[in-house]
């Protein structure tokens, strides 16, 4: 299998953690689009948003998606990557898309453990729990629309990894 594998989902769904694990298991390279953006611009998501607004950030995010896509690579996307129609279509065309899905309360509790505000600035100004509920309610259909497979991530990492490997028909 030489496809690109994309991981989509809300903040704290485990895209980076599980992306690394999946890439290691498949002997693929791994790229996190937010980290790539940080390294290539020398600015955090919060700094880009402050200077260019969310529209500027989203435009950069779309460019990064195209730049980093290559065969035999697992790509952890930013939580809002699915907002642009062209990104969802691009990922579907170029590879396999996993939606890492979990309830808002689970994601909120993970975010509270590791808020990393520079790379995860507030989208709404609401409390973490309220923001996660709003973001999931706004984006759930977009995650579903782009997904080749939906993976429940409200469980331990080995189980998540096994769900992904099963979907790829890999032991």
Q: Render pLDDT for 119-151 as a digit per residue (tens, 0 to 9).
A: 455 566 677 788 888 889 999 999 999 999 999
What's the half-sphere exposure (Cβ side, CA atoms, 13 Å) at 22?
A: 34
118 backbone dihedrals φ, ψ, rounded to 5°? -65, -40
Q: What is the pLDDT of residue 111?
A: 80
Choose the weakest-confidence range: 49-58, 61-70, 74-83, 126-135: 126-135
Beta carbons of 26 and 166 less than 8 angstroms apart: no
Beta carbons of 82 and 138 less than 8 angstroms apart: no
Please give the angle made by the CA atoms of 80, 84 and 90, to the nearest 5 degrees: 105
Q: What is the pLDDT of residue 112?
A: 78
Q: Quick check: helix, strand or coil at residue 112?
A: helix
Per the listing, tokens 């809002």 go with 80
Query: Residue range 158-165: average pLDDT?
Result: 97
pTM of the predicted protein model: 0.91
pLDDT digits (tens, 9 = 90+) for 39-53: 999 998 889 989 999
Query: Residue range 67-77: average pLDDT?
Result: 97
Structural domain spans, the chain: 4-167
- pLDDT of residue 118 exceeding 50: no
| Distance set, CA 100 to CA 50, 53, 60, 142, 151 (Å) | 28, 27, 23, 13, 5
Handedness of CA 165, 166, 169, 171 (dihedral sign): positive
Percentage above 90 pLDDT, the chain? 73
Selected residue with higher pLDDT from 113 and 163: 163
- pLDDT of residue 117 exceeding 80: no
CATH architecture for residues 4-167 = 3-Layer(aba) Sandwich (3.40)
pLDDT digits (tens, 9 = 90+) for 10-34: 988 999 999 999 999 999 999 999 9
């Amino acid at each position: 299998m030489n496809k690109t594998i994309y991981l989509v989902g809300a903040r704290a769904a485990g895209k980076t953690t599980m992306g690394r694990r999946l890439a290691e298991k498949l002997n693929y390279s791994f790229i996190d689009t937010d980290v790539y953006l940080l390294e290539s611009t020398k600015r955090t998501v919060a700094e880009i948003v402050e200077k260019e607004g969310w529209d500027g950030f989203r435009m950069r995010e779309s460019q990064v998606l195209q730049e980093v896509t290559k065969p035999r690579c697992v790509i952890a996307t930013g939580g809002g990557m699915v907002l642009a129609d062209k990104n969802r279509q691009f990922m579907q065309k170029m590879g396999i898309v996993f939606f890492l899905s979990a309830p808002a309360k689970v994601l909120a509790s993970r975010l509270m453990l590791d808020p990393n505000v520079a790379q995860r600035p507030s989208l709404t100004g609401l409390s973490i729990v309220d923001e996660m509920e709003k973001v999931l309610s706004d984006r759930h259909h977009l995650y579903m629309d782009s997904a080749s497979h939906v993976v429940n991530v409200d469980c331990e990492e080995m189980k998540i990894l096994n769900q992904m490997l099963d979907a790829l028909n890999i032991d």
